[in-house]
Amino acid sequence: MKSILKFFAAGEDRPQLTDAAEIDRQFHYHRRNIIVFMTVCYGLGYVCRLALNVVKKPMMDAGLFTPEEIGLIGSMLLYGYALGKFSNGFLADYSNVKRFFAAGLFMSAMLNFGMSLSSVLWLSAMLWALNGWFQGFGAPACVVALANWFSHRERGRYYGIWSTAHSIGEGLTYLGIAILIALPPKGLGLPWQYGFWIPAAICVFAAWLAYRFLQDRPQTLGLPSVAEWHHDTVSPTRPTTHSPSQIWRDQLKVLAIPAIWVIALASSSMYVTRYAINSWGNVYLQEIRGFDLFDANLFIFLNTAAGILGCVAYGYMSDKWFAARRPPANLIFGLIELVPLFIIFYGPANSYVLAAALVLYGFGLSGLLASLGGLFAIDIAPKKVAGAAMGFIGIFSYIGAGLQDYISGMLIYKTEMKVVFQMGEQSATVFFYDYTVPVLFWVSASVLSIILATSLWKVKARD
Amino acid sequence: MTDRTSTLNRLALAALCSLVMAACTPDSEDDYCNHHYLYHADHQDQVGNFTANLDAGGQLLVTVELPGQPLASQLLENPGNVYQVSSETACSSAEVAIESIENGTRASYQSDCGSDNRVEQINVGLFDSLDSLEEVEVVITTPAAQKHFAISRQCDAAIFRLQDHRKAP
């Protein structure tokens, strides 16, 4: 156990190099590697997180799991991820991030491989929960690497570059894995198991890249801190006059702020819709709207791609048009999300209308996500416990997302109608579902989220 | 690069290669079932057709067409030989209509399952009743969805995405 902990622990500082040119050369080399491979690896890691979403329908068609069981398995990843977000943040602070991140990717790959072999509910649920936990290694490791290798003044733009990995990863999954499974001519027509095998292979490759190209702290290579190297004007560290118990007491005070609870509920409701579309949207489009697997995933990809613009536009609009007041922007982006949602589910059966609605929906949802999952919470919470507020809202959100996955699956399963073609000893079964109630659940969650967010119209930001 | 790093690099690459090899191993599933959707159109007119339409009011209309089976009418007169419905409350007895079509037989069955009744399962027994039946093309419509596929005696799963030249009804 000790040797495992030692393997993952951050390295010791080495005597500092004295050759300024060599220090410059190493910083340039490692920083380029870190931002490129951190973004690439985080994006590639997404395919192991979302693989189940793409192969859900083929697995249901094969009679392997009912929608309720698939929903339960899917929810386990979100619970595991929520737990991972909480625990792995602490672990990453003490770890050599290249090993930590690589281990997370490698274990996620193994768990995807395991999923392809399991047809047992409890085993699949356990594998997928563990996958969620190991997926939670990625973000903290990348944030620590950013903090170690990029100075305060430049961190924003490098954070922005790394953030594109979310959309790259979602795009890779919804299109890349769909190409493997979808029937020719759009796809390769491979069995659904390839939807886990190829992501596993990709994540092993990503783990190798992370291990090869990311780096521990600069000081472990004999380099100065990035702030020293960058001649950054570092504001003197605020003296920590508070004891850990005092900090804990301050963090608990977050729970006494009613607006934080309202944001947590609003964010949780929004995550219901967000993950409903990401988890069940492509199944709905195949089951009810009759699209093939490739087209259904292409539609879902459109909403995730539009999300990049939504995040940027929300920040710009709320800062410039409303003097950093979030509630008016929340309402606008909420409506941009909600109206297309009605069009997606109750609008005309036209592919172009559906595509446009999904783009708008993704744009609006991402804006709201940026606000409720971050900006608005930071505005309202006292700055010294902003992290605790974010953590509280994050866990609430993922619990909402996880509950959604199970509830949606259960609601879908309740409507199941089977048509069984008996052929002597063997039989072929085709399943039919009605999404009327689940869709109502998803849209209602969105309406509730917007009402809750707008109810904080008069809440003022704290300095 | 240290020895330990290069060993770990090699191990990671070996794991990657074994995963890729596992992923690329040919599947043992029957090629016929995997690729039939591409060629179904070639014999579409010779296979049987099974359509079922369940509307929001609970009316169930089932139609069976069996080309090349001119003597099947006696068997088709009994709906139990064709399908059986499992639902929360029993559906009404089916009204049966049989007619001859070109070198074959068409049968239709209409029953009322009630608007508040949930149809849980339809067992189609055509293949067990007709030993010579090899394949049927199926269209099933419910108030929520429509699915179009083929069922072949050679395959243990429905064949979707049929690339046919006819439009599904």
Q: Considering only CB atoms, which chain B residues are within 8 Å of A435?
A: 144
Count the Cβ atoms, other than its own, within 10 Å of residue B99: 11
Mean pLDDT of A192-209: 96
Q: Do B158 and A430 touch (CB under 8 A)?
A: yes
A315 pLDDT above the threshold of 90? no
For residue B1, what pLDDT is reported? Answer: 44
Instruction: Name the pTM for this structure.
Output: 0.84
For residue B9, what pLDDT is reported? Answer: 60
Task: Say which residue, A93 or A366, is predicted with more confidence.
Answer: A366
For residue A449, what pLDDT is reported? Answer: 96
pLDDT band at B19 (very low <50, low <70, confident <90, very high): low
- A327 preceded by a cis bond (ω within 30 of 0): no
Which ipTM value was assigned to this complex?
A: 0.83
For residue A376, what pLDDT is reported? Answer: 81
Domain extents in chain A: 19-232+243-454
Mean pLDDT of A137-145: 87
Task: Say which residue, B25 or A425, is predicted with more confidence.
Answer: A425
Q: Which helix (H) or strand (E) holds A427?
A: strand A426-432
Helices (H) and strands (E) in chain A, counts: 18, 2
- Using CA atoms, how far apart are residues A242 and A115, in angstroms rounded to an integer? 46
For residue A335, what pLDDT is reported? Answer: 96
For domain A19-232+243-454, the CATH architecture is Up-down Bundle (1.20)
pLDDT band at B11 (very low <50, low <70, confident <90, very high): low
For residue A267, what pLDDT is reported? Answer: 93
- Using CA atoms, how far apart are residues B167 and B169, in angstroms rounded to an integer? 6
B168 pLDDT above the threshold of 60? no
A417 pLDDT above the threshold of 90? yes
B19-78 residues touching A, CB cutoff 8 A = 19-20, 22-23, 27, 29, 34, 37-38, 52
* Test the B interface: residue of A44, A419, A440 with most B CBs within 10 Å: A419
Check CB contact of B115 with chain A, cutoff 8 Å: no
Residue A157 burial by Cβ neighbours in a 10 Å radius (0-12, 13-18, 19+): exposed
Mean pLDDT of A370-378: 78
Phi-psi label, residue B68: left if phi above 0, alpha if psi -120 to 50, beta otherwise: left
Q: Considering only CB atoms, which chain A residues are within 8 Å of B138?
A: 419, 421, 430
Q: Do residues B151 and B136 touch, judged by C-beta distance below 8 A?
A: yes
Identity of the highest mean pLDDT range in A83-97, A325-339, A367-381: A325-339
Q: Considering only CB atoms, which chain A residues are within 8 Å of B120?
A: 416-418
| pLDDT tens-digit readout, A243-297 | 667 767 777 788 888 999 999 999 999 999 999 999 999 999 999 999 999 999 9
For residue A275, what pLDDT is reported? Answer: 93
Q: Which of A183, A201, A430 sits opposite B23 (nearest CB)?
A: A201
Q: Do B124 and A421 touch (CB under 8 A)?
A: yes
Q: Do B156 and A426 touch (CB under 8 A)?
A: yes
Search chain A and give the residue with CA nearest B148: A290
Q: Considering only CB atoms, which chain B residues are within 8 Å of A415?
A: 144
Q: How far is A420 from chain B (nearest CA, A)?
A: 5
For residue A82, what pLDDT is reported? Answer: 87
DSSP line for A188-202: ----TTHHHHHHHHH
- Average predicted confidence (pLDDT) for chain B: 83
A48 pLDDT above the threshold of 90? yes
Q: How far is B159 from chain A (nearest CA, A)?
A: 10
- Using CA atoms, how far apart are residues A402 and A272, in angstroms rounded to an integer? 8
| pLDDT tens-digit readout, A4-15 | 888 888 888 899
Q: Do residues A295 and A185 touch, judged by C-beta distance below 8 A?
A: no
Q: Do residues B103 and B70 touch, judged by C-beta distance below 8 A?
A: yes
Check CB contact of B147 with chain A, cutoff 8 Å: yes
Mean pLDDT of B118-127: 95
DSSP state of B118: -
Q: Do residues B66 and B72 touch, judged by C-beta distance below 8 A?
A: yes
pLDDT band at B27 (very low <50, low <70, confident <90, very high): very low
